[in-house]
Structure 1
Amino acid sequence: MATNINEKISAPGNGSGNGTGNGNGNGTGNGNGGTGAETAVKERVQVDLTAGGNKKLPKGFTFGALIVCWLLTYGLFRFGFKAESAVGALVVGYLIFLVVMRFVSHSVEGRRAGKDRMAGIIITSAFVIAVVPLISLLWAVVQNAVPVLNYSFLNNSMVGMSEAGSRPGLGHAIVGTLTITGTTAIIAIPLGIMTAIYLVEYYRGGWFGKIVTFLVDIMTGIPSIVAGLFAAAFVGMVAPWTGHRNGLMGAIALVVLMTPIVVRNTEEMLRIVPDELREASYALGVTKSRTIIKVVLRTALPGIVSGCVIALARVIGESAPLMITASSPDGFNYSLINGPVMTLPVFVYSMFQRGMMDYAWGGAFVLVIIVLILNLIARFIAKVFAPKTR
């Protein structure tokens, strides 16, 4: 590359004047000639740095090569090795595809462009590997739940399911899930947000803030079954008149699991808010509490809402603590403190234990729909209350 550049520098310039590229001309030609030589050098350097950059593989070549490798490998497995492993053929075909693309892209497009193409292939493959199981899961849930989805299934309970002509359902589990998770959100979300505000806006290195941070870190990784045991012991000690198992115990268990997630997410969102916004508000004479409410929280609201929904979606699918605290009755119970309450995760597990797989898939489908609705509501709230930009 150095030889080519030197040759270009010593060559005559191609400027509009009469001077030469090495600066021996006079007047205007001298300057223009130098400009021509510099332009030629820059173009040469750009071509050298992007060696092979003008050569590109045809569009669709990558996808076509992948299909060909898969078909050849599948034929080799089926007719050559007499193996019926479709997954093995896919894996081996993909590895062969990577080797082929490595040599083809480097030969045609050059080393730099070839590395870039290989990086894109690997990243795209990782995305597909992550998405395919999710799509397969949703498809399996929908496919297996369709046979039992009807009005009676969504409205009835499991009481009298052994009687002739009965139409059992999971209505009691839907009511219990909404009741317990609603109570959990009412307690955990304000508690978590206010704790995060203290840690970000008021905590100045004191011992109490360090203790709170330490406890939040511990609670984030606490096993759900331990939260259930704690809730059963706590409610039994504070309100023994509520009975051995009830919905309030289940809500307290979910609060223990949800609060640290809300704290951590809200804390991160508040730290993202620029300090310049706070300082501008203080400069206008606005109090700290009003600055937090009107400036900081308003700016961080979309992220806070998303984090709260993620935390709620995580606890709404918990079954272990609810089996200990809320139990698994067959009928409706609209009270949190008067007797056991059924929830959808426990319903799915109970139906699986009884061998009623259609009902288990139906419960899973309803649970997924509830989580989807929560996400849509969160997106709407975040969009409505997000800071307006001109």
Structure 2
Amino acid sequence: MSLLDREVPGVVMTPDNIRSKTLPVAVNIGIAAGAFAVAAAIVLGADIGNWVLVVVLGAAFYLVGLNVVASRIEGKRAARNRAMKSLIYSACVLAILPLASVVWTLVSKGVARLDANFFNTSMNNIGARDPEGGAYHAIIGTLEQVGIATLMSVPLGVLGAIYLVEYGRGKFAGTVRFFVDVMTGIPSIVAGLFILSFWVLIVSPWFNDGQPRFSGFAAALALAVLMLPTIVRSTEEMLRLVPGPLREGSYALGVPQWKTILSVVLPTALPGIVTGIMLAVARAAGETAPVLLVAGGAAAINFDPFGGNQQSLSLFVYQQAGDASRYAPDRAWTAALTLVALVLILTIAAKLLARRNKLSR
């Protein structure tokens, strides 16, 4: 017997009284429109703020009005649920707005010099009144410095995380983890000063007739110092998320621990490891202070990371933003857009590669 066929004393069961009432969409929109209209009238009418205050005050009025109206139509419990959902959606919008603003600003201002000349020329022999000149040398420098830093930091970081998760026990592992945590918060300029005092001033004179020498490799060393703790921590967390029964099943089949790590643990955690590596790469690509201290920057193209000054995109943006030429800001915005696009392309490529490897297994 269905619920509609049951007889309840004194109550006639119909589809109308067994379904809870819901707040119509039109009423929800009307509450929002009224809330923001009242907020605009108060803020703009009294001249106490701008549109930012209107949005904040309107959101507060909307939550109050929604709670009152929903309580009368749906009940207090459903009204509280709607209020909480609205708060969650509002927090999501507030989190997305800064990102959307940054992207819009980069795209709108960065397209001014988005041409072939920008990607095919350097700033060599470019004067203050010359509208030409590009960031070819900076793009080459960024790719070489970040690439070398990645080659140095990724193996060390992944192996260090494997030790901490799979082998590390006792005080030594705790000490390593402590110093990794300390290095995570190290300022980038400290890493640059360390490489400056150690590599540039002490080591490089051995290979340069006793004279200190800036180089792209020195910048890569500084970037590797910054990337290493991020890779270790992110990889460690991903390895800890691998279920223990996977390891136990492999051990039960007689597979040694090192092979279990290579064939079971690492492939399972690979997507998360790649994400952590790309976060470290993004941080390294955007660093300016270490490159300025140990690579020096250059206006001409230098393909040799071991000899002479070398430029990077982040340093190029910094220099062009402070240049007195009226053409420099356009170069700075386009270089910033190029840097973001480069990191995005590398991230997507790494994600697709990790996904393909996972599917192929």
TM norm. shorter chain > 0.5: yes
Q: Counterpart of 2:254 in structure 1: which amino acid?
A: G
Contact 1:258 1:315 in 2 (8 A): yes
Aligned-partner SS, 2:25: coil
Question: 1:3-18 residue pairs with structure 2 within 5 A?
Answer: none
Contact 1:53 1:109 in 2 (8 A): no
- Sort the Cα spacing of 1:55 and 1:163 in 2 relative to 1 into closer, same or farther, 3 A: closer
What's 1:90 paired with? 55
- Sort the Cα spacing of 1:365 and 1:86 in 2 relative to 1 into closer, same or farther, 3 A: same
- 1:82 to partner: Cα distance: 4.7
Provide the C-alpha distance between the structure 2 equivalents of 1:188 and 1:68, rounded to a whole number of angstroms: 56
Provide the C-alpha distance between the structure 1 equivalents of 2:283 and 2:31, rounded to a whole number of angstroms: 41
Q: Counterpart of 2:84 in structure 1: which amino acid?
A: A
Q: Counterpart of 2:199 in structure 1: which amino acid?
A: V
Provide the C-alpha distance between the structure 1 equivalents of 2:203 and 2:26, rounded to a whole number of angstroms: 67
- Sort the Cα spacing of 1:82 and 1:209 in 2 relative to 1 into closer, same or farther, 3 A: closer
Which of 21, 31, 35 is the matching residue for 1:65? 31
What's 1:55 paired with? 21
Contact 1:160 1:166 in 2 (8 A): no
Provide the C-alpha distance between the structure 2 equivalents of 1:198 and 1:99, rounded to a whole number of angstroms: 54
Aligned-partner SS, 2:307: coil
- Sort the Cα spacing of 1:52 and 1:218 in 2 relative to 1 into closer, same or farther, 3 A: farther
- Sort the Cα spacing of 1:190 and 1:59 in 2 relative to 1 into closer, same or farther, 3 A: same
What's 1:311 paired with? 280
Aligned-partner SS, 2:160: helix
Aligned-partner SS, 1:354: coil
What's 1:230 paired with? 194
Provide the C-alpha distance between the structure 2 equivalents of 1:68 and 1:174, rounded to a whole number of angstroms: 51
Q: Does 1:111 align with 2:83?
A: no
Q: Does 1:160 align with 2:98?
A: no
Question: 1:223-262 residue pairs with structure 2 within 5 A?
Answer: 223-236=187-200, 237-240=202-205, 241=207, 243-262=212-231
- Sort the Cα spacing of 1:165 and 1:251 in 2 relative to 1 into closer, same or farther, 3 A: closer
Q: Counterpart of 2:62 in structure 1: which amino acid?
A: F
- 1:366 to partner: Cα distance: 0.2
Q: Does 1:215 align with 2:187?
A: no
What's 2:159 paired with? 194
Q: Which runs of 5+ in 1 are unaligned?
A: 1-13, 16-35, 41-50
- 1:305 to partner: Cα distance: 0.8
- 1:61 to partner: Cα distance: 3.5
What's 1:358 paired with? 330
What's 2:297 paired with? 328
Provide the C-alpha distance between the structure 2 equivalents of 1:255 and 1:63, rounded to a whole number of angstroms: 52
Q: Counterpart of 2:269 in structure 1: which amino acid?
A: A
Q: Does 1:136 align with 2:105?
A: no
Provide the C-alpha distance between the structure 2 equivalents of 1:131 and 1:163, rounded to a whole number of angstroms: 38
Provide the C-alpha distance between the structure 2 equivalents of 1:82 and 1:189, rounded to a whole number of angstroms: 55
Q: Does 1:383 align with 2:352?
A: no
- Sort the Cα spacing of 1:117 and 1:372 in 2 relative to 1 into closer, same or farther, 3 A: same
- 1:60 to partner: Cα distance: 4.7
Q: Deviations over 1:116-158 (max 9, x none)?
A: 1000000100000110111111111111111111001111101
Aligned-partner SS, 1:386: helix
Q: Does 1:300 align with 2:300?
A: no
Q: Deviations over 1:60-112 (max 9, x none)?
A: 5334422332133324444x325672222222222211221121122221111
Provide the C-alpha distance between the structure 2 equivalents of 1:83 and 1:199, rounded to a whole number of angstroms: 56
- 1:382 to partner: Cα distance: 2.0
Aligned-partner SS, 1:158: coil
- 1:211 to partner: Cα distance: 2.0
- Sort the Cα spacing of 1:63 and 1:385 in 2 relative to 1 into closer, same or farther, 3 A: farther
- 1:184 to partner: Cα distance: 0.6
- TM-score with structure 2 length normalisation? 0.89
Q: Counterpart of 2:140 in structure 1: which amino acid?
A: V
- 1:166 to partner: Cα distance: 6.6
Q: Counterpart of 2:164 in structure 1: which amino acid?
A: L
- 1:164 to partner: Cα distance: 7.2
Q: Deviations over 1:171-221 (max 9, x none)?
A: 00000000000001100011100000011111122x322221121111111
Of all paired residues, the percent bearing the same amino acid is 40
Provide the C-alpha distance between the structure 1 equivalents of 2:303 and 2:197, rounded to a whole number of angstroms: 23
Contact 2:149 2:220 in 1 (8 A): yes
Aligned-partner SS, 2:173: helix
> Higher mean Cα deviation, 82-91 or 375-384?
82-91
- 1:298 to partner: Cα distance: 0.8
Contact 1:224 1:257 in 2 (8 A): yes
RMSD: 2.4
What's 2:89 paired with? 124
Q: Does 1:183 align with 2:148?
A: yes
Contact 2:204 2:213 in 1 (8 A): no
Contact 1:52 1:108 in 2 (8 A): no
Contact 1:144 1:361 in 2 (8 A): yes
- Sort the Cα spacing of 1:316 and 1:93 in 2 relative to 1 into closer, same or farther, 3 A: same
Q: Deviations over 1:31-68 (max 9, x none)?
A: xxxxx89xx7xxxxxxxxxx997021002533442233
Aligned-partner SS, 1:239: helix
- Sort the Cα spacing of 1:53 and 1:186 in 2 relative to 1 into closer, same or farther, 3 A: farther
Aligned-partner SS, 1:332: coil
Contact 2:216 2:295 in 1 (8 A): yes
Which structure ranks higher in relative contact order (CA pairs < 8 Å, sequence separation ≥ 6)?
2
What's 1:347 paired with? 316
